A and B are shown apart, each in its own frame.
Chain A
Amino acid sequence: MQSLNTYRAGPDERGHFGIFGGRYVAETLMPLILEVEKAYGAAKADPAFQAEFRSLLAQYVGRPNPLYFARRLTEAFGGAKVFLKREDLNHTGAHKINNCIGQILLARRMGKQRIIAETGAGQHGVATATVCALFGMRCVIYMGATDIERQMPNVYRMKLLGAEVKPVTSGAATLKDAMNDALRDWVSNVTDTYYLIGTVAGPHPYPAMVRDFQSVIGEEVRDQIMAQEGRLPDSLVACIGGGSNAMGLFHPFLDDKSVRIIGVEAAGHGLDKLHAASLTGGKPGVLHGNRTYLLQDADGQIAEAHSISAGLDYPGIGPEHSWLHETGRVEYVSVTDDEAVVAFQQCTRLEGIIPALESSHAIAHAAKLTPGLPKDHLMVVNLSGRGDKDVSTIAKALGDEHLGGLV
């Protein structure tokens, strides 16, 4: 492992985290990408922008949300003290809204009237549709047809909020394909449209910008654990699709060497079968505007990912995660569909909290990790979203005979 003085200084001025990141987009988009970068740089330094962002997080999103000591999960896992960061309690039910508030303020500042976004599980789509309703902007959401089917409640929510949901049928009709179509829309509507990317991926400045907006998660955790326990946590655990909830939790702690940081990818049916674990099963490549670890074949063709969780079902990962993986600062592991389903049930039954299937991956890894740890080990698990949207997927996974018992 190489040891750096700081892991929080990236990206460089060209948007690179080591060899990762960058701006691999069509020339048509480059002037616009440069404009977003400039506008975000100015907004970041503007106290009025930051004040409005913080105010909306408090008044509209409901932050800070609790850092909840999960007593019964702690007892069941039999080791470390497990705390859940309750992003599920945010308005719209997940961490995605943090970033959407930040970017909609930026889009308004840039004078854009039309917002486009991609969504997998629909949480980012709902959050985007929500801020568009709040600010009176037109909203178009690209969503894979496969995901539309498995996340129907979120599709209705987006439509009720006034968004147009465009089904994407190419490829496996999931998140990757939705991102392709969102990019096609953007290149065709460069003047009036802002692309509100939902994760720490895409061309620079998106990975850094989304991370900055999501860092409120880790900043709150730091204050809360100091207030509750009087010291920093010993470990952080978060699930990773693109990796925005994880980056938001991790980034404020990257330079605290005593804090062990673990990202959990989706191992789907297993790492030797169909999965979505880009770092474990992929290699560096270029897709969707950045260089990062990607699931791909020897010819550089992008592989189809699979996860039971639509939000993790993506063959790539944010470039900063790729860099943190290569530097060794963050450990990346993976959890299968089946393990996530078990964790989903445990959290629901023991804590009375229905977690998103995405977040269930983090809980599942916490369950694996804690038995070997001392009782005073403080572990923070990011409960990135609530699981109402996943109830039908879970029912299907458990089989009809369990349906009555679970729901």
Chain B
Amino acid sequence: MSRIAKRFAKLKAENRAALVTFITAGDPDRATSQALLDGMPAAGADIIELGMPFTDPMADGPVIELAAGRALKAGGSLRQTLEMVTAFRKTDAETPVILMGYYNPVYAWGPEKFAKDAAQAGVDGLIIVDLPPEEADELVPFLRAAGIDFIVLTTPTSDDARLPVVLANASGFVYYVSIAGITGTASAAQAAIDEAVARIRRHTGLPVCVGFGIKAPAQAAEIARVADGAVVGSAIVSVLADNIGKSGAVSAPLALVKDLAAGVRGARK
């Protein structure tokens, strides 16, 4: 059983949803980012998404875009991202790590080789924002062969006709992008999320995590009542950005993760 499947089985037994946290690898520098990554499980992150920095993050808002810029400026790269996962695995063998980003760096690495190298580093899943099902064939078979889950994104524009097309490639869990928009901006109405999650569940038995626009513990708790996971990215990265060069660069974002985890853990009680 994969780390992702094991993690959701465990959470199911505990009757709670996952807190999925996102940071950009190498932001604002390798050491800070590694400390943050390594500290995530203890702070309450159940699954970690690690952003692969890219020069042109077209689906991201300013917070994540700036984070990618900081990481690249400090020498961040796909190689460094994999090295960070390798280092993380020395401290944690159970928490799933999902790499999230854009296709070009993976394409430049070579899809087949990347799948092998990522698996070797201890990566469990991959989210590629700009690789819809129409183009996914060039990567997904290599991921499957390497034992890495291809986490698909469904959106408010994925209707009942579109969902089966998107879900055909899915494994691990399904990521519901709760707004038609970019990261770190608007938040969806809870009623719309409830309805969308219910609709996705009619099409798949995979766990459903919800992201985009979730900023506060109370919001994460609302999501955790209906979904299998709440994804928080920009809010954490934002706290990091406010603390760069200060003593709180690692502790302040982790404090937010603790609050979010408390919200998610209390949701179904």
Q: A-side interface residues toward B, CB under 8 Å?
A: 14, 22-32, 170-171, 176, 180, 183-184, 187-190, 285-289, 291, 294, 296, 298-302
Contacts and interface: CB of A to CB of B under 8 A. Distances in A.
Interface string B70-93: 001000011100000000000000
Nearest to A302: B55
Closest 10 CB pairs of A and B: A300-B108, A300-B105, A188-B181, A28-B155, A300-B104, A299-B77, A302-B55, A26-B59, A183-B58, A24-B130
B118 to A, nearest CB: 14
Contacts of B2: none
Given A188-B181, A188-B185, A301-B72, A22 B135 contact: yes
A188 B54 CA distance: 21
A275 B261 CA distance: 49
Interface of B: 54-59, 61, 65, 69, 72, 77-79, 102-109, 129-132, 134-135, 152-159, 162, 166, 177, 180-182, 185-186
B79 A299 contact: yes
Nearest to A298: B108
A28 B157 contact: yes
Nearest to A190: B180
A30 B181 CA distance: 13
Contact of B104 (A23, A25, A26, A285): A285
Given A24-B135, A27-B157, 7 more contacts: A24-B132, A28-B155, A180-B56, A184-B61, A288-B56, A288-B58, A300-B78
Contacts, number: 113
Contacts of A22: 134-135
Contacts of B77: 299, 301
Contacts of A184: 58-59, 61, 182
28 contacts: A14-B134, A22-B134, A22-B135, A23-B132, A23-B134, A24-B130, A24-B132, A24-B135, A26-B59, A26-B130, A26-B132, A26-B153, A26-B155, A28-B157, A30-B157, A31-B162, A184-B59, A188-B182, A190-B180, A285-B104, A286-B102, A291-B107, A300-B107, A300-B109, A301-B54, A301-B104, A302-B55, A302-B104
Contact of B156 (A23, A26, A28, A289): A28
A301 B186 CA distance: 28
A28 B108 contact: no
Given A187-B181, A285-B108, A286-B130, A27 B154 contact: yes
Task: Classify the interface of chain B: helix, strand, loop or mixed.
Answer: loop
Given A27-B153, A187-B182, A171 B55 contact: yes
Nearest to A294: B104
A37 to B, nearest CB: 11
Contacts of A294: 104
Nearest to B157: A31
Contacts of B162: 30-31
A296 B104 contact: yes
A300 B106 contact: yes
A9 B85 CA distance: 46
Contacts of B105: 299-301
Contact of B134 (A30, A32, A298): A30
A28 B154 CA distance: 8
Contact of B56 (A28, A189, A299, A302): A302
Contacts of B186: 188
Contacts of B104: 285-287, 294, 296, 300-302
A294 B104 CA distance: 10
A144 B130 CA distance: 23
Contacts of B106: 300
Given A22-B135, A24-B130, A27-B153, A301 B103 contact: no
B103 to A, nearest CB: 5
B72 to A, nearest CB: 6
B185 A24 contact: no
Nearest to B68: A301
B195 to A, nearest CB: 17
Contacts of A180: 56-58
Q: Which of A22, A30, A288, A301 has its CB near the most chain B CB atoms (within 10 A)? A: A301
Contacts of B58: 26, 180, 183-184, 187, 288
